[in-house]
Amino acid sequence: MDGVVSVGDDLVPHSLSEMLQRTSIEEQLHALTAGLPMARAVLVTHAPPYGTVCDVAHGHRHVGSRGLRAFIEQRQPLFGLHGHIHETVDLSGSFVERIGRTQCAAVGNDHRLDRPWVLEVELGEEPVVRRVRI
């Protein structure tokens, strides 16, 4: 499979065959957490899970990881903190969503360096998540 990668302002031909031979994020997460109890686990990933308020990009398209979502559906960690899509909160209208019993949250940000958004999370039996501007 061939594609391109961006290098500066240029698009350079790139073979994606090597990527197809690597293990997926879902496989890697299962391997990393094998035998670990997930009921109190906090999962922090740069990628957001697919089809949630955490992965809405311009054009209102869901661009998250299907493998990450499958892992969360199967293993059900207590809480997931996800990033990458800065505009997701503005476009989706929310910052937290459940996948089964797992609460997944994205801080989102509007690039206001003087007052960024942060998440405050209380990890009790049921996580309490607040999005505040500092």
Q: What is the pLDDT of residues 67-122, one digit of tens each?
A: 999 999 999 999 999 999 999 999 999 999 999 999 999 999 887 788 999 999 99
Domain count, the chain: 1
Distance CA 134, CA 23 (A): 39
Is the torsion defined by CA of 32, 36, 38, 42 positive or negative? negative
Domain assignment present for residue 71? The answer is yes
As a whole number, mean pLDDT of residues 28-56 equals 96
Domain assignment present for residue 13? The answer is no
Domain, as residue range, for 114: 35-133
Domain assignment present for residue 98? The answer is yes
In angstroms, how far is the first alpha carbon of the chain from the final one? 45
CATH number for position 102: 3.60.21.10
Confidence (pTM) = 0.83
Write out pLDDT tens, residues 49-82: 999 999 999 999 999 999 999 999 999 999 999 9
